[in-house]
Amino acid sequence: MEVARLSSMGFVGRCLSSSASVSVSSLRTKELRGRVVQSIGVCYGVNGNNLPSPSDVVKLYQSKGIDSMRIYFPRSDILQALTGSNIALTMGVANENLSAFASDPSAVANWVKQNVQAYPGVNFRYIAVGNEVESGNTQNVLPAMQNMNNALSAAGLSNIKVSVSVSQKGVLADRYPPSNGTFSPEATSYMTPIAKYLASTGAPLMANVYPYFAYVDKQDQIDIKYALFTSPGTVVQDGGNAYQNLFDASVDTFYSALESAGAGSVPIVVSESGWPSAGGTAASASNAQTYNQNLIKHVGQGTPKRAGRIETYIFAMFNENDKRGDETERHFGLFNPDQLHAIKEIDEESNDYIVQMAGQGVACALAVALFIGSLVSIPTVYTPGIKPCRTHTNTFDLHGCMRALIVDQHSTAVRSIGVCNGILGNNLPSPADVVKLYQSNGIAAMRIYSPHAATLRALTGTDIAVIVDEPAIDQFLTLSAASDWVQSNIKPYQGVNIRYIAVGNEVSGDATRSILPAMENLTKALSAAGFGKIKVSTAVKMDVLGTSSPPSGGEFSDAAVMAPIAKFLASNGSPLLANVYPYFAYKGGDVDLNFALFQPTTATVADDGRTYSNMFAAMVDAMYSALEKAGAPGVAVVVSESGWPSAGGSGASADNARRYNQGLIDHVGMGTPKRAGAMEAYIFAMFNENQKDGDETERHYGLFNPDKSPAYPINSGRRRRPEKRKEREEVSCAPT
């Protein structure tokens, strides 16, 4: 695809109202039910003679809750319009500048000064050094990236990640199946060094992924259902990975190529994907709507090779009448140039999106999904930039606050946050009431510590994503026993959105030798029963590391146990579940409290070219380093527990618990210095549990008290009345 494009990343959930049909313009004020949040963006191109002004475009992004944008070259009017908007920006370097940037560091420094430092009010996220670079210019990409990183670092902007955007046809060999993916012979000479450089800086590889073009090129080999996410079952079986859509196969081919290049730890950001609504083969509004809608629903799941959310940018914001190339190039827009989107209404029936088409553009459920772009799926803790909301009677109104956040688009984006649901209390709400509390607060993911029947029944039909633990791993030591467990605990609850099964939690001693065979048997049993999409893992604590400081030195203490587990996870596309508690590191050692609480501090850690400003990121990256040393650099870390106690011990206070959980919510969308991108994390815990064993702090991790009231006292701070909006309850949210 051509260079002159903008992209944005928003986040998607499901909106509900009391009526069966609501207009898009009013969806922001409707009730929300918890859904798994997905990382979706929209590309906004500028190749048209009838497009809105940059200031109007930024307003459109904000009004739809789109909280990030990509531009392919710096434009002062766009940067000025973005100032103060808090929209996260990926800005490109034009391909024609690569030669100069590769040979002249001063040219790069001047570019940074003029286009980045000159706009301190713009929230820069990535710099993309080139887009689909071709021919001899490819040799300029890596030195230009290196000079860009050096210039950003010298300017004190090393938090901005530097990458390059590539296409499938441009860099991948035509290899099949996905596990055989490699860079083409022509691309290997420059892509292998680029991949290793990205691994060293913790930046992602940006990849433009278009099943549409693959389908058009090979209609005799590819079923359109496979390209549109509508195949009813597995189309490609690749070892233990089953592929039901071409998007996953394409992304995993990139991951295989990175692994072959010795850079398996590099994440993929899908920097473009879409389907045209007119102008060519299979280009219709109906197919475009089907593809984009299914893409939105899908990216929260990850791929067979890599579980977890995929940061993905849909192309494009507008139909662009001046784009060059095939006619289809002018018909990728979600919106027409008059800013009227192609959605008349969005209905919800049977928990599915139904999108009605209008005009020349392409309809997409994203238009409604993006309305919740600033919602944070955790109650009682602060959203960065927004104080907890109160009614005019100064009582905490969580529901009103959540609805206010839907409208106020300047807070940070939705993070990949779930909450652990412990049940060790004699005064806790019923499972049905707990599930309702998750839904009413927009919490879209839950971890439970056993296959508790009442909880699973309550979760049925909710679409809340669930981690189910089985603490008794001896139930999986034979395939027959594992199959019986699946029949008893998974098959009866097919209406539950089970994402992972954790084979044990913090297993220790000789029992660790049973983890791998138990995982292998459970994986086989799930696959045989038709539940192969459920990923199997185990939850570990930080004690599995013999070395954790500095983060690059992270190494498993018992590699004989953990290395085979790590490689098994890699082969099955499963993450490692890790319980990460900076509180215990602070309590047990010489750790600065602010460093542990995500607060500003001078006690930072410099390690291998990376700077750590908080303990959480350092701990997670130590786990990633251990996985790399164990030969499994592609395994993702899902933080299956993290939290801070509000009472009962050293440093345990309501204020510290609030600070930590707020910092965690704010942080997980950025990833770590070693691994950029949103990470999946679960706060421990939903409730204070009065029957938990151990130190007194163990009974004080809850976000809620057993009576469902917030566990933390909330300081009201300064309050202001927000701008009145249609159908919105009046609440006050004071900026920090």
DSSP 535-560: EEEEEEEGGGEEE-SSGGG-EES-HH
What angle (nearest 5°) sits at the alpha carbon of residue 127, between those of residues 123 and 128?
A: 140
132 among known catalytic residues:
yes
Tell me the C-alpha distance between 633 and 618, whole Å: 17
- Burial class (CB within 10 angstroms; exposed 0-12, middle 13-18, buried 19+) of 59: middle
Tell me the C-alpha distance between 382 and 376, whole Å: 9
Torsion, Cα 159 160 162 164, to 10 degrees, reads 140
Tell me the C-alpha distance between 664 and 681, whole Å: 9
In contact, 734 and 717? CB cutoff 8 Å = yes
Cα–Cα distances (Å) from 89 to 6, 10, 82, 207, 568, in that order, read: 9, 12, 9, 17, 37
Tell me the C-alpha distance between 94 and 178, whole Å: 31
Among 302, 261, 296, residue whose Cα is nearest residue 372: 296
Q: Indicate which residue of 259, 272, 628, 689 is catalytic.
A: 272
Cα–Cα distances (Å) from 319 to 169, 340, 514, in that order, read: 24, 11, 56
Strands in 46-122 per DSSP E: 68-71, 88-93
What pLDDT does 253 receive? 97
The reported pTM is: 0.58
628 among known catalytic residues:
no
CB atoms within 10 A of CB 660: 29
What pLDDT does 416 receive? 67
Report residue 93: phi and psi, to 5°.
-105, 125
What pLDDT does 341 receive? 52
What pLDDT does 8 receive? 27
DSSP H/E element including 595: helix 593-596
What pLDDT does 145 receive? 98
Half-sphere exposure of 375 (CA within 13 A, CB side): 36
Among 578, 580, 568, residue whose Cα is nearest residue 630: 568
The total number of residues shown for the chain amounts to: 736
What pLDDT does 574 receive? 93
- The contacts of residue 135 (CB under 8 Å, 6+ apart) are none
CB under 8 Å, gap of 24 or more: what pairs does 347-355 form?
Answer: 347/20, 347/21, 347/22, 348/14, 348/15, 348/16, 348/20, 349/20, 351/14, 351/461, 351/463, 353/14, 353/293, 353/297, 355/289, 355/293
Tell me the C-alpha distance between 412 and 409, whole Å: 8
408: amino acid identity, one letter: D
- The contacts of residue 610 (CB under 8 Å, 6+ apart) are 202, 551, 552, 621, 673, 674
Residue 381: both structure tokens together: 């803790």
Q: Indicate which residue of 2, 31, 132, 727 is catalytic.
A: 132
Residue 255: both structure tokens together: 């991951």
- Residue 610, Cα to own-chain centre: how many angstroms? 22
Continuous H helices in 114-270 = 141-154, 168-171, 185-201, 211-217, 224-227, 246-260
Residue found under tokens 């303990």: 615
What are the per-10-residue average pLDDT scores of the chain (736 residues)?
Answer: 31 25 27 39 84 90 79 90 86 94 96 95 92 94 97 92 95 90 95 96 95 94 96 92 96 96 92 94 94 89 87 87 92 83 34 30 32 29 32 32 28 61 95 94 93 95 94 93 96 94 96 96 94 94 95 96 96 94 90 95 91 96 96 93 96 95 88 88 96 94 94 46 32 28
In contact, 531 and 504? CB cutoff 8 Å = no
CB atoms within 10 A of CB 135: 7
Tell me the C-alpha distance between 181 and 260, whole Å: 8
Tell me the C-alpha distance between 665 and 663, whole Å: 5
Domains and CATH numbers, the chain: 41-347 (3.20.20.80), 418-540+576-581+636-699 (3.20.20.80)
End-to-end CA distance of the chain: 41
